[in-house]
C-alpha cells in the first residue's frame, strides 16, 4: 500500500504521547482553555495529530480517514469468542473487557478512529431504567406517564456509570497508531423511541403516537434525556474521549416538521452544552434524506449520513461549514473485490475533493460481514484518496 501514512506515523506517534501525557490536564483545564482561546483556539495540536480529527475540522488531510460504525462486534471472530463466555452487559461494564473489545478492530485494520464499546441504553440504565438486551434493548416498564417522566433522576455519570469513564481511561493509552477515541450517546429522540415503545421496532408506533397524544410529556422527556446525555458526554470528554457522537438512529421516522419540533431542539440542547469541551461534535442522522435542511444550522462539526443520500447533494445542502461522515451501504461489503472498490470510489467521488469527509458505512456493519472485506475497504479508501491529490 502506497500512502503517506508511514511518513506521518512517527509524527503521529509522538503527538500521541504528548496528547496522552497532557490528557488529564487538558481535561481539567478544558473549559478555561476554550474560554480563553475562543471556539477555534487551543485545539491545533490535537487536530494535527490525527487525520480523523483534522477531517472533522475540515482541514486538509493526506488521505480520507475511515472508521466503521459498530466496528467492534459480532462480525469479528475474536469478539464472538469473548462473547461466548461473557454476557453483553458485562462486556460493557467491565472496563478491561470493554477496552479489549474497543481495540480489537484497531489491531486488525488500519482504522483512523476507535469508538468506545458500550450501548446507547447504558446511561439510561444508570438512571434506574430496568432493561435487558435480547439482543436489542427491551425495557421492563416502558415510560409513558408524566409521573414516570418526573421520577427519572438526573444522571451523574461518575456515580451512575463510572465504568464507562474507567473504560475510556484504560483505552486511550493503548490505541494503536495514536488513533483518537470517539465517545458516544444516543440522540434524545432515539432514546425516547426505546423508552416509550419498550423494544426494538420497525415503526416505533407507540413512540410516534406519544409525540402527538402527549406532546408536553414528550418534550419534558426529551429535555431530561438531552441534559442527561450532555452530562454523560461531558464526562466522556473529561475522561479522554477526543470526539463525541450522537446516534439518531430513528430520525427517519419523523417528518421534517416533527423532527424540528421534537428531536432537533433536544439535540441543540445537548450539543450546546458540549461546545466548551473543545472536541469535534458529530450528529448521525439515520434515514435523514429529508432532514438535511433541518440540520444545516445545527452547531456541530460533522453530520453522519446514511447510504440513501448522495454525499454531493448533502454537501450542497449543508454548505462548507460542516464535515460529512459516511456513507457506503453496509450491504456493499458483500460485493466481490473489484466491485467493492467501485462502490467505495463512488462514495469518495460523491464527497468530492473539498476537505471534511470521513469515510464510513451509512449504518452499522452487519454481523455476517467478512472481516476480509473490511480490510480491503479500509486499505482501498486510504490508497484511492491519497493518490489523487485529495488533500
Tell me which residues are annotated as active site.
70, 74, 83, 119, 194
Residues 299-328, mask of contacts with ligand CP3 (x by CB under 6 A) = ------------------------------
Choose, by CB under 6 A, the member of 12, 46, 66, 69 that binds ligand CP3: 69
Near ligand CP3 by CB under 6 A, which window of 64-72, 300-308, 320-328, 341-349? 64-72
Segment 215-254, which members bind ligand CP3 (CB under 6 A)?
Answer: 247, 249
Alpha carbon distance 64, 147 (integer Å): 49
Near ligand CP3 by CB under 6 A, which window of 53-61, 67-75, 140-148, 328-336? 67-75
Q: Is 135 in the site for ligand CP3 (CB under 6 A)?
A: yes
SS3 per residue for 171-202: HHHHCHHHCCEEEEEECHHHHHHHHHHCCCCC
Buried b (16+ CB within 10 A) or exposed e, 43-65: beebbebbbbbbbbbbbebbbbb
C-alpha cell, 122: 447504558
In the complex, residue closest to ligand CP3 by CB: 249
Q: Is 73 in the site for ligand CP3 (CB under 6 A)?
A: yes
294 contacts: CB under 8 Å, gap ≥ 6: 256, 259, 260, 264
Near ligand CP3 by CB under 6 A, which window of 28-36, 111-119, 162-170, 204-212? 111-119
Cβ 63 to ligand CP3 shortest distance, Å: 22
Residues 368-387, mask of contacts with ligand CP3 (x by CB under 6 A) = --------------------
Q: Which residue has the cell 438531552?
A: 226
Q: Is 175 in the site for ligand CP3 (CB under 6 A)?
A: no
Buried b (16+ CB within 10 A) or exposed e, 187-208: bbbbbbbbbbbbeebeebebbb
C-alpha cell, 124: 439510561
Choose, by CB under 6 A, the member of 47, 74, 138, 334 that binds ligand CP3: 74
**Pairing mode, if any, of strands 181-186 and 243-248?**
parallel
Find residue 115's DSSP bridge partners.
182
Q: Is 366 in the site for ligand CP3 (CB under 6 A)?
A: no
Nearer to ligand CP3, 26 or 328 (CB): 328
Angle between helices 77-85 and 95-108 (to 10 degrees): 160
Near ligand CP3 by CB under 6 A, which window of 66-74, 141-149, 292-300, 351-359? 66-74
Q: Is the distance from CB of 304 to CB of 325 less than 8 angstroms?
A: yes
Q: Which residues bind ligand CP3 (CB under 6 A)?
A: 69-74, 83, 88, 115, 117, 119-120, 133, 135-137, 184, 200, 247, 249, 286, 364
Amino acid at each position: 500500500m502506497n500512502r503517506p501514512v508511514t511518513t506521518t506515523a512517527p509524527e503521529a506517534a509522538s503527538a500521541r504521547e504528548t496528547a496522552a501525557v497532557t490528557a488529564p490536564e487538558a481535561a481539567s483545564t478544558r473549559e478555561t482553555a476554550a474560554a480563553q482561546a475562543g471556539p477555534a483556539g487551543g485545539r491545533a495540536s490535537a487536530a494535527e495529530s490525527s487525520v480523523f480529527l483534522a477531517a472533522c475540522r475540515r482541514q486538509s488531510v493526506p488521505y480520507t480517514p475511515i472508521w466503521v460504525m459498530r466496528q467492534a462486534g459480532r462480525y469479528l471472530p475474536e469478539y464472538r469468542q469473548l462473547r461466548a463466555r461473557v454476557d453483553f452487559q458485562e462486556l460493557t461494564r467491565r472496563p478491561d473487557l470493554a477496552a479489549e473489545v474497543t481495540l480489537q478492530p484497531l489491531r486488525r485494520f488500519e482504522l483512523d478512529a476507535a469508538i468506545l464499546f458500550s450501548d446507547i441504553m447504558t446511561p439510561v440504565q444508570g438512571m434506574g431504567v430496568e432493561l435487558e438486551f435480547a439482543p436489542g434493548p427491551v425495557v421492563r416498564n416502558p415510560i409513558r406517564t408524566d409521573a414516570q417522566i418526573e421520577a427519572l433522576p438526573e444522571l451523574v455519570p461518575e456515580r451512575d456509570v463510572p465504568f464507562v469513564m474507567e473504560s475510556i481511561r484504560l483505552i486511550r493509552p493503548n490505541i494503536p497508531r495514536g488513533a483518537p477515541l470517539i465517545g458516544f450517546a444516543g440522540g434524545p429522540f432515539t432514546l425516547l423511541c426505546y423508552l416509550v415503545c419498550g423494544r426494538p421496532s420497525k415503526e416505533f408506533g407507540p413512540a410516534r403516537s406519544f409525540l402527538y397524544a402527549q406532546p408536553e410529556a414528550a418534550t419534558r422527556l426529551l429535555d431530561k434525556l438531552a441534559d442527561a446525555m450532555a452530562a454523560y458526554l461531558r464526562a466522556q470528554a473529561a475522561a479522554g474521549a477526543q470526539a463525541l457522537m450522537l446516534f439518531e438512529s430513528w430520525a427517519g421516522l419523523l417528518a421534517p416538521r416533527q423532527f424540528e419540533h421534537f428531536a432537533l431542539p433536544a439535540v441543540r440542547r445537548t450539543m450546546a452544552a458540549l461546545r466548551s469541551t473543545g472536541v469535534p461534535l458529530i450528529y448521525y442522522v439515520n434515514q435523514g434524506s429529508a432532514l438535511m435542511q433541518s440540520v444545516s444550522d445545527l452547531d456541530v462539526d460533522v453530520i453522519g449520513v446514511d447510504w440513501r443520500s448522495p454525499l454531493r447533494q448533502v454537501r450542497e445542502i449543508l454548505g462548507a461549514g460542516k464535515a460529512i461522515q459516511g456513507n457506503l451501504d453496509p450491504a456493499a461489503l458483500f460485493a466481490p473485490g473489484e466491485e467493492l472498490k467501485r462502490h467505495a470510489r463512488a462514495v469518495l467521488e460523491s464527497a468530492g475533493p473539498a476537505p471534511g469527509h470521513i469515510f464510513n458505512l451509512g449504518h452499522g456493519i452487519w454481523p455476517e460481514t467478512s472481516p476480509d472485506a473490511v480490510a480491503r475497504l479500509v486499505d482501498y479508501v486510504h490508497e484511492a484518496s491519497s493518490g489523487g491529490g485529495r488533500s
